[in-house]
Structure 1
């Protein structure tokens, strides 16, 4: 009690690093909660720490004012065409329904839900524009939202071991934030023995990587992946040296020469080079500038991945925890927000474009050409092809190749190698909360990538739905199931009046049960079965396992 200040409006609490002041807020159901914003969990990754693994923050004197959001990582602002953010971005937010010693007589510790934002490893933050806690926190959970380094600042990978830049720095940021939570979350009335990590898109792939990485073992107890997985080719990075050197106009340089240059370069110069490379890779199904890598064996520091994560998945050598994974019925529509629609013809004019990068087939090889032909024929038929006549098929192939196939296959592999419960969902309800589909003006049926966020968080683009509407009911249902999973490891531990259903876990990898979240909740089996069977054959033909 000695470290507490009993100001109910702006309470001060003690954490390992020092005292912090938060503020009282109100959730969408009229309940109260406390927010502590922008809390640093690591030293600023600047100067000699640029590109390096994060180091825990130093203690501070006085009171840290955790009243405003912290800095976001360096990223593009698509409205102003400028650079937003700061390299000093390793901070997190904590939102809690109650605090120890402020609520008598004594409250029990709450489940902790740690959100990892998406954004292609290039954009996004823990700010409330897309991740306001006011909805989910009404389910009586503690919510933590983290920032991590984006772009090449978080993903530079070099082979030279003495430089200590092996890659995966952003994932190590996430690990350090989870260690911070283990040390501090009791001070926010959170239970360090009941931590769920969850995220969407690149954040979902990150969550899956944390499940597979030995570095994160013991730091969480459940994992929830929304539209992303470790079997998404876009979640992996190629070797940084030559692409960065070329984009910077440096010619042939050693790892050490490139590192020395980048260490002294301005953020603006680094960002310009990163953008040049990303424009060529973001629209493909192969490795990119940013993402996971297997760290060199010669690197002496702690490795996030010392072997390929897919090997870990296939072998069962990972943290076995309850999993909940799923997708949106039209996830692939997101490509229209990333690539100009008139560029969609590449999916049939460059047929090898559709060959998954995880197969690691040289472009132009006989097998790559063959698989590219098969994929185009399966989705688009014999032709002639056009966006106007094949738009649904285009969204199907982008949904399957970039999202669903990886999620579905991951679930089946986990079922074979883990004893922990696994649940799968599909969000198919189109409503006024599906804001991103409206932004990019898509009229075909389907729930676009990112559009599940409006059911879990307040956003700049959605309004609190009127009570009793389909939006309100579904929002309440999803938050209840997500919070139940965090609390019990089961989204429907008992049949309550709101949900009216028991969510069947995946028991048989050959008959995968999933919950369809539509006008109502219903159990179905094997999503898009014909399409998923086709992709099993493609990956089998490419012999994925032999290439790892």
Structure 2
């Protein structure tokens, strides 16, 4: 994941300036597409004023942005667990979105955002409907190091054609969101970014009825780190009763990058920023609280040693098992074990991924083709959570299984290697989550596979790979869900337009009644996965939608073979 986020666009030099121009143009269009009509809603903390906007399809809706759901995490609250916001009496102007959380953007090589970031946005077509609307809460991805609830990437236009209330929010990322210290007296156990998410969900539960939403019909969904975040929210007792169904897109807690190992990251970060003292939690925290936030973000984005890179570690500051329990604790133990007994085994779930997720890593591998010659017996590609000595015979034997599956008797080449990474980084985690649900959940689980390959509209692939590479990359489905700087709505009659309608139709139908089937995919029937039906069945979303055996099934069995059943799920 971290390698993927560290995308350099050299070799595609037109991308960065072009994307900057797209960003400016999109912000200008967004600014113009609002009216003078305002609406005031009284929240439990105070009144907020929104504005009526016009979507890209000319649908009017009300937009409430930059609503505080927690105190600003600054000063003494830097790294701390979130606190409820202070109430206010005067009408708060909520017609402009907040900046994203402070972060170092590796794609554009720049710092952006603010530490004062804990705000959310509510979009609704009718604040006083005759019947409360289903609520959909979006959680952005970005490897727990990037992202923000911004219309530049996640504009609600497509969802505003449906009868839902749509919510987005910022949560802290990087070291500012996930720093962890072992000393209980310091009250920084980690996972502050996930705790921000819980605080946002509580705000929605207590306030969304005032915007026309149904607090008893809330769907949480997210992509990549947002999908893994959503899964964590499904596992913790902190969220019981706060939502009622979920959608995990290319991200679950069963993916190795979704749980960060304890490698003394706080001390290593402090030294990078300029700390010269001893490795003492209290002194490290005192230094980091006073340090420049921008320096923390920039230096904290690259703490990995050469050996850790070789071990395929990706994220320094992300979710972790907390070293002690607090009132807001999210991850008290191995999330795989939490998934066995969680309350959310009783709520319906949609999950899946894209057919060639590994294209995300194309620029990194392309710049370092020597890595293919260094694969050897592929022992370093064996899953980290098996905790095997890389020089052991067992690890080497597992590596050779992978080598045979993806390369056969040939030398490793670029695209077969990227295909292997699709499984290692994403698909095996999706598969393990389905297996866990089949064993422990009583509610239905629906599996999908996004496979729509548009030459010009799969914008994330085009961004990271350049033109000429085909396949459905990680994050490509976002273009078909959000009007954004990367892609705008297509004309009716195109396959791209049909795919947008299908994605929004399935996701909102699931929000309506816990079943993703809707008229736009008939006569195909999307059925929940079954224990006695292998290979697993999935909804394949391509030029058409078809209900098929999961094409990745046979390769996934190779990955399964390395685990005992107790360790697999």
Q: What TM-score comes out, normalization by structure 1 length?
A: 0.90
Find 1:514's aligned residue among 491, 516, 538.
538
Asked if residue 466 in structure 1 is aligned to residue 491 in structure 2, the reply is yes
Aligned to 1:3: none
Does the 8 Å contact 1:477/1:499 carry over to 2? no
After TM superposition, the structure 1 = structure 2 runs for residues 257-272 of structure 1, keeping only pairs within 5 Å, are: 257-272=283-298
Moved more, 16-25 or 435-444: 435-444
Aligned to 1:309: 335
Cα offset, 1:409, TM superposition: 1.6
Find 2:388's aligned residue among 342, 357, 361.
361
The 2-side partners of 1:370 and 1:293 are apart by 30
Aligned to 1:4: none
Cα offset, 1:498, TM superposition: 5.8
SS in 1 for 2:199: helix
SS in 2 for 1:448: coil
Deviations 1:413-471 (A, max 9, x none): 10211111110101111113310111121644421111101111101011210111111
SS in 2 for 1:376: helix
Cα gap change, 1:278/1:23 in structure 2, threshold over 3 Å: closer, same or farther?
farther
Moved more, 483-492 or 57-66: 57-66
Find 1:48's aligned residue among 36, 57, 76.
76
Aligned to 1:167: 190
Aligned to 2:353: 327
Cα gap change, 1:48/1:235 in structure 2, threshold over 3 Å: closer, same or farther?
same
Cα gap change, 1:284/1:427 in structure 2, threshold over 3 Å: closer, same or farther?
farther
Cα offset, 1:94, TM superposition: 0.6
Aligned to 1:204: 227
Asked if residue 423 in structure 1 is aligned to residue 446 in structure 2, the reply is yes
After TM superposition, the structure 1 = structure 2 runs for residues 100-111 of structure 1, keeping only pairs within 5 Å, are: 100=128, 106-111=129-134
Deviations 1:475-503 (A, max 9, x none): 111111100001110001xx625644221
Does the 8 Å contact 1:9/1:24 carry over to 2? yes
The 1-side partners of 2:496 and 2:183 are apart by 53
The 1-side partners of 2:162 and 2:559 are apart by 38
Does the 8 Å contact 1:348/1:376 carry over to 2? no
Does the 8 Å contact 2:236/2:342 carry over to 1? no
After TM superposition, the structure 1 = structure 2 runs for residues 25-104 of structure 1, keeping only pairs within 5 Å, are: 25-78=53-106, 81-100=109-128
The 2-side partners of 1:300 and 1:177 are apart by 18
Aligned to 1:456: 481
Asked if residue 125 in structure 1 is aligned to residue 154 in structure 2, the reply is no
Moved more, 429-438 or 50-59: 429-438
Aligned to 1:275: 301
Asked if residue 380 in structure 1 is aligned to residue 407 in structure 2, the reply is yes
**RMSD of aligned residue pairs (Cα, Å):** 2.3
The 2-side partners of 1:282 and 1:223 are apart by 33
After TM superposition, the structure 1 = structure 2 runs for residues 170-189 of structure 1, keeping only pairs within 5 Å, are: 170-189=193-212
Moved more, 521-530 or 344-353: 344-353
Number of residue pairs matched by the alignment: 526
Cα offset, 1:313, TM superposition: 1.9
Q: What TM-score comes out, normalization by structure 2 length?
A: 0.87
Aligned to 2:269: 244
Cα gap change, 1:403/1:121 in structure 2, threshold over 3 Å: closer, same or farther?
same
SS in 1 for 2:251: coil
Moved more, 11-20 or 69-78: 69-78
Find 1:253's aligned residue among 269, 272, 279.
279
The 2-side partners of 1:457 and 1:74 are apart by 23
Unaligned runs of 5+ residues in structure 1 are 1-6, 101-105
SS in 2 for 1:463: coil
Cα offset, 1:321, TM superposition: 1.1
Aligned to 1:396: 419
The 2-side partners of 1:301 and 1:391 are apart by 48
Deviations 1:498-538 (A, max 9, x none): 64422111122644211000111110123312111101012
Does the 8 Å contact 1:200/1:225 carry over to 2? yes
